[in-house]
Amino acid sequence: MDSHIQPQGAAPGVDPRERHGARSYLIGLLYAVPLTVASFWAAKTSLVYPPAVPVLLAALAIAQMGVHVAFFLHISSAPDQTNNLLALAFGVFVTALIVFGSMMIMSHLNHNMMSMDELIKIQR
Amino acid sequence: MSAAEQALSTGSGMPLALRGPAPVRVVAGFGFWLFLLSDIILFAALFATYSVLSGSTAGGPTAAELFDQKHVFLETMCLLASSVTCGFGSLAVQRADARPLYFWMGATFALGACFLRMESQEFAAMVAAGAGPSHSAFLSAFFTLVGTHGLHVSLGLAWLLIMLLQVKTLGFQPMVSRRFFSFGLFWHALDIVWIGVFTIVYLGAT
């Protein structure tokens, strides 16, 4: 059993017993820089099928957020990190609900509403 | 011992109920973590607003016409580098080592200030070109989202200055270290929000 595990759970961020040294930040940088460069490249390249670009950008962004969470914030699936991970999962859930929910509702609204020009024509 | 029992008693071998309260460092860190997640939910609302309104340009400039990718790339690199230097600074806080702390946190402050300066230049240029927040729904949403992030970065810089002064006057007391760790979390979280900003706002425009 890992003797580093804290019985009451660990705080997020830097570990008081330096489980993660400077190496963790350097590895994170090593992953984050190529991901950022790839995002900026993907946005203006003509090599990728254009309708697939937003999906590629989303995948790169989510990957980079994962890198930041794992290597900079040191959130992991270790037993003493359960509280932090559960809180994070709830945050991600609410964020997804707000963003995708709003986008879905508003696009349906736009779809079902008459365009402004036609509406004005009817009112005349 | 079953797997569940083992999971409940990791570390000490004592049942969860008999272990007493968690140390202040853990409670404070977790509380700040919850605050950060609620802050990210605030940003989620602003992101949702921006995604819905990004096409409503009211005949004004569109996102693709306004943004300079090179400028944004430099901003992104500033913030990413400051995140890493902040990490090195947190390690120095942990070792209670003042010199590397001042060096790395000084670098964090400089990079953060660079980022803010570039952002305010961009905002000033847009307003001067007649693309201010009052021009269209798209621009209102843009200035609110990116401006809120910029405001967080400025508050973070003020916090960093205060923490450096506290280390100077109070030394590495547990209270000061705890606050410094919370600052580190805040700074890394801002960088994560920025990933969303540059992907959705700046790269989504092309």
Among A78-82, A96-100, A117-121, B131-135, name the one with the lowest average pLDDT. Answer: A117-121
A47: DSSP letter: S
Average pLDDT, whole number, for chain B?
Answer: 90
At B141-163, the pLDDT tens digits run 999 999 999 999 999 999 999 99
From A9, A90, A103, residue closest to B52, measured CB to CB: A103
Q: How many domains does chain A have?
A: 2
Residue A16 has pLDDT above 60, yes or no: no
Provide the pLDDT confidence category of residue A1 given band limits of 50, 70 and 90: very low
Indicate whether this complex's ipTM tops 0.95.
no
Spatial separation of the C-alpha atoms in residues B169 and B172, rounded to whole Å: 9
Per the CB < 8 A criterion, the answer to whether B77 and A36 are in contact is yes
Contact call for A13 and B184, based on CB within 8 A: yes
Q: Are residues A49 and A85 in the same domain?
A: no
Residue A1 lies in a domain: no
Identify the architecture of domain B19-53+68-203 in CATH.
Up-down Bundle (1.20)
Per the CB < 8 A criterion, the answer to whether B187 and B200 are in contact is no
pLDDT at B2: 56
At A49-104, the pLDDT tens digits run 888 999 999 999 999 999 999 999 988 888 888 889 999 999 999 999 999 999 99
What does the radius of gyration of chain B's CA atoms come to, in whole angstroms? 21
pLDDT at A32: 95
Give residue A113's domain range. Answer: 79-124
Taking the complete model, does pTM exceed 0.90, yes or no? no
Residue A11 lies in a domain: no
Contacts of A66 (CB under 8 A, 6+ apart): none
Contact call for A87 and B33, based on CB within 8 A: yes
How confident is the model over B28-40, as a mean pLDDT? 94
From A14, A72, A102, residue closest to B181, measured CB to CB: A14
Provide the pLDDT confidence category of residue A4 given band limits of 50, 70 and 90: low
